[in-house]
Amino acid sequence: MGYRLSKIYTRTGDDGQTGLADGRRVNKSHPRIEAIGALDEFNSSLGLLLAELQDQLSAAPKLEAIITALTPCQHRIFDMGGELAMPEYQALHADEITRIEQTIDAWNVQVGPLKEFILPGGSRLIAQAHMCRSSARNAERRCQALHSSEGLRPEILGYINRLSDLLFVAARLIAQYQGCAEIHWQAAEKPL
């Protein structure tokens, strides 16, 4: 395989525009670039979560199952960014959504039904999983904004929506594997 990037800076974006893979130039604030950027931010956050999960394996070996489930997601998020940069490119397939749904279903059985609203926290790993979940929601909003003007494939929209659900359940499973109690939301007291 040849080099993907031989030069990191090109100076072609100094005027506030960037190039898509098909040669078009668009503003850096274009909804397509906003969506690509949100996916990149989400992918970076997921990379941090995976690194921290790896660091905690010796203390909680069951975390390996979460690493195994989330690692392919990082590659598929990159694929999604590729699809947005090259609209004719289609890398994401519906079977990836099915894989995530099956994982969510299996993990939900393990953690049991949710009886209370929970807050992000309890451990660094749990909080990082929630950071990823909220980052996924942000990327989903950016993809939906682009979809309203240019239309995206349903696989992209379905996949990014499921990822936030997967990360919510992953946070609950991490709590279980770490032996951490979930932090339940407490409503504000009503004034007297």
State how far the Cα of 85 lies from the Cα of 87, in Å rounded to an integer.
Answer: 6
Q: According to CATH, what is the number of the domain 25-110+118-180? A: 1.20.1200.10
26 secondary structure, DSSP code: E
Tens-binned pLDDT, residue by residue, of the chain (192 aa): 455 555 656 665 566 776 677 777 777 778 999 999 999 999 999 999 999 999 999 989 999 999 999 999 999 999 999 999 987 889 999 999 999 999 999 999 999 998 899 989 999 999 999 999 999 999 999 999 999 999 999 999 999 999 999 999 999 999 999 999 999 998 899 888
CA triple 85-136-174, angle to 5 deg = 135
Q: Comparing C-alpha atoms, which of 156, 184, 40 is closest to residue 89?
A: 156
Q: Tokens 């682009």 correspond to what residue?
A: 146
Contact 101, 69 (CB under 8 A): no
**What is the value of pTM for the model shown?**
0.88
What is the predicted pLDDT for the residue at 12?
56
Give the distance from CA 22 to its chain's centroid.
26
Q: How crowded is residue 95: how many other Cβ atoms within 10 Å of its Cβ?
A: 9
Q: Which two tokens stand for residue 17?
A: 């525009």
Lookup: tokens for 158: 């379905």
* pLDDT at residue 11, as a whole number: 66
